[in-house]
Amino acid sequence: MWPLKTIESQRFEFPTKTVVLYDPLLSGPVVNDPFGVVVLAAISTPIAFAYSVPATGVGTYDAATAVLTVVGPTSIGTPPTTAGGKPLESRPIYNLLKKG
């Protein structure tokens, strides 16, 4: 999370073609393999940006090119943290929409 100054912008380019993701729940070790080989279950699918398109005046999202542009100035306020001062969320949260 970065606050932007008036002259700054952020550009996020999302995939427009099929991507390969791996499903950890369907992946696993090969049965009776003495070396512990693990097979990753691949999911090959096109994806689309599902939500979080900027509010009016904050930026734009071009669905044809899958480019999200946020323009300054922006203010993010104070991000939520734990009592120890660490970020409340330890990993980014993605909401991907499977096409088709």
Give pLDDT tens digits for 28-82: 877 777 787 888 889 898 877 766 666 666 788 888 888 888 888 877 677 677 7
d(CA 66, CA 60): 10
pLDDT, residue 50, reads: 66
The range of the structural domain enclosing residue 50 comes to 9-98
In a domain, 17, yes or no: yes
Beta bridge partners of 35: none
In a domain, 3, yes or no: no
Q: How many domains does the chain have?
A: 1
d(CA 72, CA 75): 9
In a domain, 2, yes or no: no
In a domain, 47, yes or no: yes
Asked whether the predicted pLDDT for residue 3 surpasses 70, the reply is yes
- Read off the pTM: 0.55
Which pLDDT tens digit goes with each residue over 69-92? 888 887 767 767 778 777 766 555
pLDDT, residue 36, reads: 76
